[in-house]
């Protein structure tokens, strides 16, 4: 088994597109996107069998919050929905083993921890992860399975039988009450969306928000590049909720082919605009896009730990969907520094709360 950081774009694209668990987060398009984001460095590992045939791909990102000492204390490697493997069980295990070995080598002195955010089950392969010091952590998610292609009914909540009646009512009330779902017309509207997100993450979620360059570059890649043979934008969509000329919410959602759309960033001024339900409409905007474009699913990208009460999970549950626990798989690369950084983060969060 050979591992390389060089891979043909054509081979990579074909591999991801043909894989049953393929996702935008393992694609060359997202690799190219992350190269343009400040304080993010993408990494791709390609595995080739003895016949030099591509049998595995892992795409992850090194990311941090600050420069200097802050970079040392906030660096991490995150892998969304990977790696992707092919072949029989023996080959998959050999491929995974080789990829993890190289990943540990690439990250050990560069990231405090490495984390896989899973979009499918690794239950049968956890022993391979454990061999390299990884630990499985329970994490829940909701995935809304969408109606099959061919359903020609109007795109409303009625197309989703598991959506609660209260959600359907809120969508109707929000839209009839003057709220609009729009595409960002300019960078100023995107900044309004970003400012809502910034305050949400700083004062309520108390977790780092991606740098502005992330949103700016995503925006630049949400319009099709003509002439384009594909029906979807290269990366995904941004939809904003507007009321009386003001942006009051929105969603940033990557899209993968005709398969799935993902809720990456979402927000809404729900307390200030109770009758417009901006967070509900933002979620619906992505689901509506998926229905209009015959996608298979809408992925909420996480709803917390199973043993911890989480209001967001209750909010998302009312859209319907399958509750899954694909979990996260994490390796602490530098335990001493990690514990120090975690203590510092908790203290900082406490001061922000005060």
Q: What is the pLDDT along the chain (354 residues), one digit of tens a residue?
A: 899 999 999 999 999 999 999 999 999 999 999 999 999 999 999 999 999 999 999 999 999 876 655 566 678 899 999 999 999 999 999 999 999 999 999 998 888 899 999 999 999 999 999 999 999 999 999 999 998 655 544 455 566 888 999 999 999 999 999 999 999 999 999 999 999 999 999 999 888 899 999 999 999 988 655 554 444 457 999 999 999 999 999 999 999 988 999 999 999 999 999 999 999 999 999 999 999 999 999 999 999 999 898 889 999 999 999 999 999 999 998 877 767 656 544 433 433 333
CB-count exposure of residue 18 (10 Å: 0-12, 13-18, 19+):
exposed
* Range 142-324 has CATH code 1.10.260.40: no
- Residues 77 and 35: beta-carbon distance below 8 Å: no
Q: What is residue 206's predicted lDDT score, i.e. its pLDDT?
A: 84
Distances (CA, A) of 274 to 244, 263, 277: 14, 22, 6
Q: What is residue 66's predicted lDDT score, i.e. its pLDDT?
A: 66
Total Cβ atoms within 10 A of residue 353: 9
Q: What is residue 230's predicted lDDT score, i.e. its pLDDT?
A: 45
Q: What is residue 147's predicted lDDT score, i.e. its pLDDT?
A: 82
Angle between helices 212-220 and 187-200 (to 10 degrees): 140
Distances (CA, A) of 72 to 37, 95, 114, 292, 335: 19, 31, 14, 45, 13
Name the CATH topology of 2-139+327-353: Aminopeptidase (3.40.630)
Greatest Cα pair distance in the chain = 62
Concatenated DSSP letters for 138-201? ---EEEEEPPPTT--S-SSGGG-TTS-HHHHHHHHHHHHTT-EEE---SHHHHHHHHHHHHHHI
**Domain ranges, ordered by start, for the chain:** 2-139+327-353, 142-324
Q: What is residue 309's predicted lDDT score, i.e. its pLDDT?
A: 87
Q: What is residue 336's predicted lDDT score, i.e. its pLDDT?
A: 73
My answer on whether omega of the bond before 90 falls inside 30° of 0, hence cis, is no
pTM of the predicted model as reported, rounded to 2 decimal places: 0.89
Listed in order, strand segments (DSSP E) in the chain are 2-4, 40-48, 54-63, 76-80, 84-85, 113-117, 135-137, 141-145, 180-182, 236-243, 246-256, 260-262, 265-268, 297-299, 322-324, 328-332
Q: What is residue 149's predicted lDDT score, i.e. its pLDDT?
A: 54
Domain 2-139+327-353 shares a fold with domain 142-324: yes
């Amino acid at each position: 088994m050979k591992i390389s950081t060089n891979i043909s774009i054509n081979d990579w694209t074909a591999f991801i597109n043909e894989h049953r668990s393929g996702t935008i987060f393992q694609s060359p398009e997202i690799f190219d996107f992350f190269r343009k984001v400040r304080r993010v460095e993408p990494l791709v590992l390609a595995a080739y069998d003895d016949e030099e045939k591509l049998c595995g791909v892992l795409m992850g990102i090194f990311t941090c919050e600050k420069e200097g000492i802050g970079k040392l204390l906030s660096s991490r490697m995150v892998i969304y929905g990977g790696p992707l493997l092919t072949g029989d069980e023996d080959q998959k295990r050999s491929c995974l083993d080789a990829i993890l070995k190289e990943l540990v080598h690439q990250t050990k002195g560069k990231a405090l921890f490495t984390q896989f955010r899973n979009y499918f089950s690794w239950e049968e392969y956890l022993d391979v992860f454990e061999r390299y010091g990884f630990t499985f952590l329970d994490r829940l998610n909701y995935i809304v399975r969408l109606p099959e292609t061919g359903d020609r009914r109007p795109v409303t909540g009625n197309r989703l039988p598991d959506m609660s009646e209260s959600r359907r009512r809120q969508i109707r009330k929000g839209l009839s009450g003057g709220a609009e779902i729009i595409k960002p017309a300019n960078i100023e509207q995107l900044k309004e969306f970003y400012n809502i997100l910034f305050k949400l993450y700083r004062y309520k979620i108390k977790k780092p928000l991606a740098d502005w360059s992330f949103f700016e570059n995503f925006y630049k890649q949400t319009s099709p590049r003509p002439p384009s043979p594909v029906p979807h934008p290269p990366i995904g969509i941004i939809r904003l909720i507007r009321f009386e000329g003001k942006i009051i919410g929105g969603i940033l959602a990557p899209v993968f082919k005709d398969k799935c759309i993902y809720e990456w960033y979402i927000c809404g001024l729900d307390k200030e605009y109770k009758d417009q339900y901006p967070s509900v409409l933002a979620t619906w905007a992505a689901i509506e896009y998926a229905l209009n474009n015959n996608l298979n699913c809408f992925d909420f990208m996480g709803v917390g730990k199973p043993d911890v009460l989480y209001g967001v999970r209750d909010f998302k549950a009312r859209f319907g969907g399958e509750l899954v626990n694909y979990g996260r798989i994490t390796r602490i690369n530098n335990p001493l520094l990690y514990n120090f950084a975690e203590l510092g983060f908790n203290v900082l969060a406490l001061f922000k709360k005060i």
